[in-house]
Chains A and B, each alone.
Chain A
């Protein structure tokens, strides 16, 4: 593992596991006997989804959604769904599994997009949440950790596709000390 830009560990592997256990208890209580579609936002949330979903004991379907900013001809960079859900979510309880919410811009689009498909409910469970005042206030029901607004990597989060497979969350150092 290249580690030149790897900064201080902000959340350890043990802390992540322990918090996921707590979140699972809460989710198992809130979604008891409900028919839930667990929508994971690719790719950064995969580790969180696999660790969390194995602790959930209500009936669920796993589905995946990928969003990307298109660099089209006019370079508008509009966000679009590049991999859509496999299942219909109409009339279902939807639990979005996300790794990090920063500005709320992407998630505002996500809520609008999924909301148009008439689900029974939509809840968001994010592992990380930037504690600063965000641009958009979105309803986020489940949060793993509140963190400061720094660039973080690991446990699914990348810098140019690197560091995703770190088992912990660390700071990304732009200009590491030699």
Chain B
């Protein structure tokens, strides 16, 4: 399920972005007003609701003090539980509520923060509420403090910590349309590559893989050079990842197999370099022909000595741009 969380500075335009983004992407919008109107009345009386509207501290109060200690939950715990349950079967856009921390480890969650300069925000408050500059500045100071305190009290995290977010958008100089376009692009990109924000494991693997590639022991110098050319063009590759059986004896044992040198993952294409003597080239050509007969769905390209020399020459001498 898709989850987008939006944290925003007061008067940064984040609320409008959240609303528009939820409309554009068909996500259910959940914000503090929604929670106060729809969820909290189920567990809070009128006085408690009033306090929840006013004070961030009140969210740490226990809802069920008469229950056994281990079953006691706070209003904040209750909201987190409801959010997680709702996210099980609905695509959500959650504004605030510490949701960037609640869904920090969720691979399908994207966390955005919308900010703007003090000047921009004061101007917005002046326009919207007719406040004087000083009053607007004071209002912003209080609101920022309230945001920070809520996240700190409930989750013991600094709301300003930039690594809590995939992207922080400065609304100064960005129109609503441009802001939405940036956010929607990232949403699109992450669809095929979901990954929790808090999990750096994969990054380490990626770095390791790159290091390994450059230090890999290739069977032939030309393979190392070819790998370099692929890297130059940002092409993802694997070295000799698969072996294809080509001939079997009557007992079904493989007596001839072929392992192409490279696999270009994004192009689903195997590449075999034949930079050696003609005798070996003929042997390789035979294997490639057999492979194409037995596995017609496999795409394989042969790079002959002449082609390889042209490539090597081109990138060493840079004699042409094409």
Q: Which residues of A contact B (CB under 8 A)?
A: 43-44, 67-69, 76-79, 88, 90, 99-103, 105-106, 108-109, 112, 116-118, 133-137, 151, 157-160
With a cutoff of 8 Å between Cβ atoms, the chain A residues found around residue B318 in the complex are 69
Interface residue stretch chosen among B33-41, B53-61, B77-85, B263-271: B263-271
Query: Is B321 on the interface with A (CB-CB < 8 A)?
Result: yes
Evaluate whether A78 and B232 lie within 8 angstroms (CB atoms) in the complex, with A108-B267, A133-B301 already known. Answer: yes
- Report which of A88, A117, A133, A151 forms a contact with B320, defined as CB distance below 8 A: A151
With a cutoff of 8 Å between Cβ atoms, the chain B residues found around residue A116 in the complex are 189
B6 to chain A, nearest CB (A): 21
The contact sample of 14 A-B pairs, CB cut-off 8 A, is A69-B315, A77-B228, A78-B231, A78-B234, A90-B181, A101-B322, A106-B322, A108-B233, A116-B189, A118-B188, A136-B264, A136-B267, A157-B320, A158-B321
Residue of B nearest to A157 (CB): B322
B240 to chain A, nearest CB (A): 18
Binary contact readout B263-297 vs A (1 if CB under 8 angstroms, 0 otherwise): 01011010100000000000000000000000000
Q: Which residues of B contact A (CB under 8 A)?
A: 181, 185, 188-189, 228-235, 264, 266-267, 269, 271, 299, 301, 303, 307, 311, 315, 318-322
- Report which of B185, B267, B299, B311 forms a contact with A103, defined as CB distance below 8 A: B311
- Report which of A76, A112, A134, A137 forms a contact with B231, defined as CB distance below 8 A: A76
Do A158 and B235 have beta carbons less than 8 Å apart? no
- Report which of A105, A133, A137 forms a contact with B235, defined as CB distance below 8 A: A105
A111 to chain B, nearest CB (A): 10
A-B pair number, CB within 8 angstroms: 68
Do B303 and A135 have beta carbons less than 8 Å apart? yes
Evaluate whether A105 and B185 lie within 8 angstroms (CB atoms) in the complex, with A44-B321, A137-B267, A158-B320 already known. Answer: no
With a cutoff of 8 Å between Cβ atoms, the chain B residues found around residue A99 in the complex are 322
A67 to chain B, nearest CB (A): 8
4 additional contacts, CB 8 Å, given A76-B231, A79-B232, A157-B322?
Answer: A76-B228, A90-B185, A105-B235, A137-B299
Residue of B nearest to A42 (CB): B321
Do B232 and A118 have beta carbons less than 8 Å apart? no
Residue of B nearest to A66 (CB): B321
Query: What is the bound-complex CA distance between A151 and B301, given in angstroms?
Result: 22
Query: What is the bound-complex CA distance between A70 and B232, given in angstroms?
Result: 9
Residue of A nearest to B311 (CB): A103
Query: What is the bound-complex CA distance between A160 and B321, given in angstroms?
Result: 10
Listed residue (B231, B232, B299, B319) with the most chain A CB atoms within 10 angstroms of its CB: B232
Query: What is the bound-complex CA distance between A36 and B147, given in angstroms?
Result: 45
B52 to chain A, nearest CB (A): 41
A154 to chain B, nearest CB (A): 13
With a cutoff of 8 Å between Cβ atoms, the chain B residues found around residue A100 in the complex are 322
Residue of B nearest to A78 (CB): B232
Query: What is the bound-complex CA distance between A108 and B232, given in angstroms?
Result: 12
Do A77 and B232 have beta carbons less than 8 Å apart? yes
With a cutoff of 8 Å between Cβ atoms, the chain B residues found around residue A159 in the complex are 319-320
Evaluate whether A79 and B320 lie within 8 angstroms (CB atoms) in the complex, with A105-B229, A135-B271, A136-B264 already known. Answer: no
Residue of B nearest to A126 (CB): B322
Query: What is the bound-complex CA distance between A159 and B232, given in angstroms?
Result: 22
Do A69 and B232 have beta carbons less than 8 Å apart? yes
B161 to chain A, nearest CB (A): 28
B184 to chain A, nearest CB (A): 8
Residue of A nearest to B316 (CB): A77
Do B185 and A118 have beta carbons less than 8 Å apart? yes
B296 to chain A, nearest CB (A): 15
A5 to chain B, nearest CB (A): 12
Query: What is the bound-complex CA distance between A99 and B320, given in angstroms?
Result: 12
Query: What is the bound-complex CA distance between A88 and B267, given in angstroms?
Result: 27
Do A79 and B189 have beta carbons less than 8 Å apart? no
Residue of A nearest to B322 (CB): A100
Listed residue (A43, A76, A77) with the most chain B CB atoms within 10 angstroms of its CB: A77
Do B322 and A160 have beta carbons less than 8 Å apart? no
Residue of B nearest to A138 (CB): B267
- Report which of B188, B299, B322 forms a contact with A102, defined as CB distance below 8 A: B322
With a cutoff of 8 Å between Cβ atoms, the chain A residues found around residue B269 in the complex are 136-137
